[in-house]
């Protein structure tokens, strides 16, 4: 997505109103699954009727070719009979009208007026129409920069560009400042497509967003055709997108259908009564410019101050190094063990932080997959309706039951139902085995984590014991003294620095020798094999396995595995072979159900994956808590060491981090300063430039645009006393 386009769109919205809360396009964004489409619309459009006794909610389905050319238009109308009238008059240009939710009938009353015998009910009907659309959709294709038709593009490979252009033809002539001008109905156009990863890579989109679920990329783009002209804003200041363009590297090109939603409801929600304070808005722009100048000055001063701090830190480092040389002889095994425990603690903290970051994306990943599922279900609903099948609206929870009923009604042998029952029974029969496998996998992961933590602690202890032994041998070999006498002589200043360094080097050399390393490894292996260590590991593993969290994880993973296996079996070649023998009339529905089952298997697998990430993050948190406890114990062990040495060693070890931190702080201050400059030039100044002019004129045009939007309420016609709203859904044919 090009940032300049989206920035321009945001700035345009800021010019129009100080605060907006609107949803341009969502597929059941609140996570609820309505029982049917009409009920869902009742809940979400309660404020759209403006108190009208009777209103019409209209959805126009445009079936188009791969190039956007219209092939058929189907209109679905919902007449909301709020007062429960016995009869409802409705004006509509539709033909082949059919009641899709009840048995209410109508009589024609001339001039396309139908009088419905409503008996107090809402009316749901659909029909066909041949009429010019308010917005024309055009889809063009390029391969490696050269135009190409959709048919010729099938099977080709290269850099593909798919462009969606929208021509707004619905307008009113409005008088603005004494002139008659066209004001277009402000449609928001949202185009969506699913691009499989095995066909498309390196996907980009202008004026949109990309979501990848691991096997395909969901592309959503937005455009506002005609809005640039409505608001009369120069593109040099703000560019409002009026097209969506997708580019990607394609291999053996093929493309499923695309869906575009057109609606003007977004602008109907704006409160034009809050657009009167022009002087206050202009004053805010002046204050914003002044504040940015002060912020830029402050960021520059911050960078200069941190640079000075970095320069002076070298003096501090030199002094600490000199002090540390004199305290080097105070090093002992307890401090080495404490240092190792600190490293383990830091590593556990980084692991926990990384897994928590990964787990924080679970909701977005599951949400994106859910939106794709809802899009597939919406397409399935349209296909079923086009085939003349009257069924409840498909949802994630009910699609299998609904389509099973359709298949049963079309197929006397109920092949699919039998296969589903057999697969389900077979998988349920293995529930205990699956539970055991899940439990074993969880226990293996818990055991590995606990064993690694214990082995790290044992390794530190064994290494320290071996080091003391090596030191004793080296001192005896060089000076013919035991270590205690040597330490006393060093403390008394009787051992020169050269001798100390020679002894220390000899110790370090032996510690790195293959023999000593093998000795340490043998000691660790021996300790790890001892009964107490193994008992400790077993006790910790048993404690975690008996926890409620692990129990819940096992239960959840078992259920997910069962559902996943059922979906995979239903999508298998064996089951599909059985379904292929079904009656000819059921084949298309069976294929649709199989396609949804395949995606459901992926969807359940994704949930299993995100649950695993969450559980791993929880386990890492427990490991971090254990290392914190280990660090506390080693700190107590090192309490007998000299406080002076502890302070100097901590200070010395901290100086590289101090210098590095100051360096990063300086670099961050520079990035902050540069970023503020870029934000000021690309964002704040562009906003100030955009409103530095005829703000009254802009607000007048915005009011006019909103008024024109409120006037456009239907496509196929409505009675004069009937309120309502309309949305358009364009579906292009698949390619290949």
pLDDT tens-digit readout, 603-629: 787 777 788 778 777 877 777 787 787
What is the rounded average pLDDT of the residues 501-529?
A: 90
> What's the pLDDT tens digit per position in 270-325?
665 655 554 544 554 454 455 445 545 554 554 555 565 556 566 656 666 665 67
Give the pLDDT of residue 632.
79
SS3 163: strand
Give the pLDDT of residue 391.
82
Give the pLDDT of residue 333.
60
| pLDDT over 90 (residue 658) | no
Task: Please give the residue that has the higher pLDDT: either 656 or 567.
Answer: 567
Beta bridge partners of 172: 183
Please tell me what DSSP assigns to residue 733. P
Beta bridge partners of 247: 161, 204
| pLDDT over 80 (residue 12) | no
Give the pLDDT of residue 620.
73
Beta bridge partners of 162: 141, 246
d(CA 174, CA 180): 5
- CA 356, 359, 361 angle in degrees (round to 5)? 120
Q: Which of 384, 389, 589, 544 is nearest to 451 (CA)?
A: 544
The structure tokens listed for 437 are 């496998």
SS3 392: coil
CA distances from 365 to 80, 689, 722 (A): 37, 39, 42
| pLDDT over 90 (residue 635) | no
The structure tokens listed for 173 are 């002539």
d(CA 59, CA 74): 9
CA distances from 735 to 48, 64, 156, 253, 337 (A): 38, 12, 12, 8, 66
Residue 413: pLDDT band by 50, 70, 90 thresholds? Answer: low
Helix or strand holding residue 326 (H, E): helix 278-326
d(CA 333, CA 460): 10
Q: Which of 194, 235, 190, 248 is nearest to 216 (CA)?
A: 194
Task: Please give the residue that has the higher pLDDT: either 590 or 223.
Answer: 223
d(CA 509, CA 512): 5
The answer to which of 395-409, 437-451, 702-716 has the lowest mean pLDDT is: 395-409
**Residues in Cβ contact with 272 at an 8 Å cutoff, skipping those fewer than 6 apart:** 702, 703, 706
Task: Please give the residue that has the higher pLDDT: either 567 or 29.
Answer: 567
| pLDDT over 80 (residue 348) | no
**Residues in Cβ contact with 314 at an 8 Å cutoff, skipping those fewer than 6 apart:** 659
| pLDDT over 60 (residue 20) | no
Angle between helix axes 278-326 and 643-679 (nearest 10 degrees) is 150
Q: What is the overall mean pLDDT for the chain?
A: 79
Task: Please give the residue that has the higher pLDDT: either 271 or 95.
Answer: 95
The answer to which of 48-57, 129-138, 516-525, 671-680 has the lowest mean pLDDT is: 671-680
Task: Please give the residue that has the higher pLDDT: either 658 or 727.
Answer: 727
Give the pLDDT of residue 719.
86
Give the pLDDT of residue 584.
58
- CA 673, 15, 207 angle in degrees (round to 5)? 75
d(CA 99, CA 123): 8
Q: Which of 52, 42, 64, 2 is nearest to 733 (CA)?
A: 64
Angle between helix axes 3-16 and 695-711 (nearest 10 degrees) is 90
d(CA 325, CA 322): 5
Contact at 8 Å (CB) between 517 and 463? no
> What's the pLDDT tens digit per position in 148-167?
999 999 999 999 999 999 99
- What count of Cα atoms within 13 Å lies in the side-chain half-sphere of residue 189? 28
For 298-331, give one letter per residue: b (16+ CB within 10 A) or e: ebbebbeebeeebeebeeeeeebeeebeebeebe
Task: Please give the residue that has the higher pLDDT: either 486 or 4.
Answer: 486
What is the rounded average pLDDT of the residues 73-78?
A: 96
**Pairing relationship of beta strands 54-64 and 723-732 according to DSSP bridges:** parallel
Q: Around Cβ 720, how many Cβ atoms within 10 Å? A: 5
Task: Please give the residue that has the higher pLDDT: either 317 or 730.
Answer: 730
The structure tokens listed for 510 are 């032996």
Give the pLDDT of residue 676.
45
Give the pLDDT of residue 527.
85
Task: Please give the residue that has the higher pLDDT: either 388 or 42.
Answer: 388
| pLDDT over 90 (residue 175) | yes
d(CA 564, CA 424): 11
Backbone angles phi, psi at 423, to 5 degrees: -65, -45
The structure tokens listed for 365 are 């990943």
Percent of the chain with pLDDT over 90: 33
CA distances from 6 to 119, 205, 225, 241, 280 (A): 50, 11, 15, 8, 26
The structure tokens listed for 25 are 């396009």
Give the pLDDT of residue 706.
92
| pLDDT over 70 (residue 78) | yes
Helix or strand holding residue 214 (H, E): none
Backbone angles phi, psi at 445, to 5 degrees: -65, -45
The structure tokens listed for 231 are 């608001």
Q: Which of 247-261, 441-455, 490-504, 541-555 ranks highest by mean pLDDT?
A: 247-261
Contact at 8 Å (CB) between 337 and 460? yes
| pLDDT over 80 (residue 681) | no
d(CA 299, CA 295): 6
Q: Which of 228, 222, 190, 189 is nearest to 206 (CA)?
A: 222
d(CA 166, CA 242): 7
Residue 38: pLDDT band by 50, 70, 90 thresholds? Answer: very low
| pLDDT over 80 (residue 121) | yes
What is the rounded average pLDDT of the residues 586-593?
A: 76
Q: Which of 460, 233, 238, 441 is nearest to 344 (CA)?
A: 460
Q: Around Cβ 475, how many Cβ atoms within 10 Å? A: 22
Contact at 8 Å (CB) between 164 and 221? yes
Give the pLDDT of residue 195.
96
Q: Which of 123, 267, 169 is nearest to 715 (CA)?
A: 169
Residue 365: pLDDT band by 50, 70, 90 thresholds? Answer: confident
| pLDDT over 60 (residue 690) | no
- Residue keyed to tokens 């204050």: 287
Percent of the chain with pLDDT over 70: 74
Distance, CA of 676 to chain centre: 27
SS3 261: strand
| pLDDT over 80 (residue 563) | yes
Q: Which of 339, 554, 535, 540 is nearest to 441 (CA)?
A: 554
Give the pLDDT of residue 34.
33
What is the rounded average pLDDT of the residues 31-49?
A: 39
Residue 241: pLDDT band by 50, 70, 90 thresholds? Answer: very high
Q: Residue 412, exposed/middle/buried by CB under 10 A (0-12, 13-18, 19+)?
A: exposed
Task: Please give the residue that has the higher pLDDT: either 214 or 335.
Answer: 214
d(CA 211, CA 368): 7
């Amino acid at each position: 997505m090009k940032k300049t386009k989206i920035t321009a769109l945001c700035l345009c919205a800021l010019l129009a109103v100080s605060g907006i809360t609107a949803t341009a396009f969502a597929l059941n964004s609140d996570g609820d699954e309505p029982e049917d489409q009409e009920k869902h619309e009742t809940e979400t459009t309660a404020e759209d009727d403006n108190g009208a006794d009777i209103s019409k909610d209209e959805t126009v389905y445009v079936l188009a070719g791969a190039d956007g050319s219209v092939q058929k238009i189907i209109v679905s109308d919902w007449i909301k009979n709020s007062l429960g009238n016995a009869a409802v008059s409705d004006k509509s240009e539709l033909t082949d009208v059919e009641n899709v939710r009840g048995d209410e009938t109508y009589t024609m009353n001339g001039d396309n007026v139908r009088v419905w015998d409503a008996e107090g009910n809402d009316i749901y009907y659909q029909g066909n129409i041949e009429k010019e659309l308010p917005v024309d959709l055009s889809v063009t294709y390029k391969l490696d920069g050269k135009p190409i038709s959709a048919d010729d593009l099938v099977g080709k490979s290269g850099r593909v560009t798919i462009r969606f252009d929208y021509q707004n033809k619905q307008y009113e002539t409005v008088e603005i400042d004494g002139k008659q001008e066209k004001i277009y109905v402000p449609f928001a156009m949202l185009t969506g497509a699913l691009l499989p990863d095995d066909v498309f890579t390196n996907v980009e989109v202008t004026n949109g967003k990309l979501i990848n679920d691991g096997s395909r990329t969901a592309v959503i783009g937005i455009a506002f055709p005609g809005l640039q002209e409505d608001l009369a804003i120069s593109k040099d200041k703000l560019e409002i997108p009026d097209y969506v363009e997708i580019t990607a590297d394609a291999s053996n090109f093929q493309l499923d259908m695309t869906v575009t939603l057109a609606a003007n409801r977004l602008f109907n929600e704006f409160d034009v009564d809050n657009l009167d304070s022009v002087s206050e808005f202009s004053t805010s722009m002046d204050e914003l410019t002044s504040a940015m100048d002060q912020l830029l000055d402050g960021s520059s001063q911050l960078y200069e101050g941190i640079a000075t701090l970095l320069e002076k830190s070298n003096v501090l480092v030199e002094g600490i190094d000199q002090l540390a040389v004199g305290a080097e002889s105070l090093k002992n095994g307890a401090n080495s063990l404490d240092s190792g425990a600190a490293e383990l603690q830091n590593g556990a903290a980084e692991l926990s932080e990384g897994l928590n970051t990964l787990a924080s994306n679970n909701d977005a990943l599951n949400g994106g997959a859910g939106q794709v599922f809802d899009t597939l279900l919406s397409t399935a609903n349209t296909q079923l309706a086009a085939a003349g099948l009257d069924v409840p609206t498909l949802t994630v929870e009910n699609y299998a039951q609904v389509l099973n009923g359709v298949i049963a009604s079309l197929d006397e042998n109920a092949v699919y139902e039998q296969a589903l029952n057999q697969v389900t029974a077979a998988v349920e029969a293995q529930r205990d085995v699956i539970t055991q496998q899940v439990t074993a996998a969880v226990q293996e992961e818990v055991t590995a984590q606990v064993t690694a933590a214990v082995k790290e602690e044992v390794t530190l202890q064994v290494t320290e014991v071996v080091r003391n032994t090596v030191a004793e041998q080296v001192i005896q070999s060089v000076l013919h003294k035991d270590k205690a006498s040597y330490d006393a002589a060093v403390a008394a200043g009787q051992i020169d620095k050269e001798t100390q360094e020679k002894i220390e080097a000899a110790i370090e050399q032996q510690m790195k020798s293959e023999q000593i390393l093998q000795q340490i490894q043998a000691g660790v292996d021996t300790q790890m094999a001892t009964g107490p260590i193994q008992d400790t590991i077993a006790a910790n593993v048993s404690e975690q396995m008996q926890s409620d969290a692990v129990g819940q994880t096992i239960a959840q993973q078992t259920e997910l595995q069962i559902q996943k296996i059922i979906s995979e079996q239903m999508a298998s070649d064996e089951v599909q072979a059985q379904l292929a023998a079904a009656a000819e009339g059921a084949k298309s529905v069976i294929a649709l159900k199989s396609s949804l089952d395949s995606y459901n298997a992926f969807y359940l697998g994704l949930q299993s994956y995100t649950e695993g990430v969450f559980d791993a993050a929880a386990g890492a948190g427990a490991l971090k808590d254990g290392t914190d406890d280990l660090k506390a114990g080693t700190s107590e062990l090192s309490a007998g060491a000299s406080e002076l040495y502890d302070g100097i060693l901590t200070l010395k070890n901290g100086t590289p981090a101090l210098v590095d931190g100051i360096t990063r702080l300086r670099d961050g201050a520079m990035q902050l300063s540069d970023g503020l400059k870029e934000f000021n030039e690309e964002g704040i100044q562009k906003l100030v430039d955009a409103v530095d002019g005829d703000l009254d004129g802009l607000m007048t045009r915005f009011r006019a645009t909103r008024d024109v939007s409120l006037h456009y309420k239907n496509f196929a016609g409505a009675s004069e006393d009937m309120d309502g709203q309309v949305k358009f859904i364009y579906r292009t044919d698949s390619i290949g």
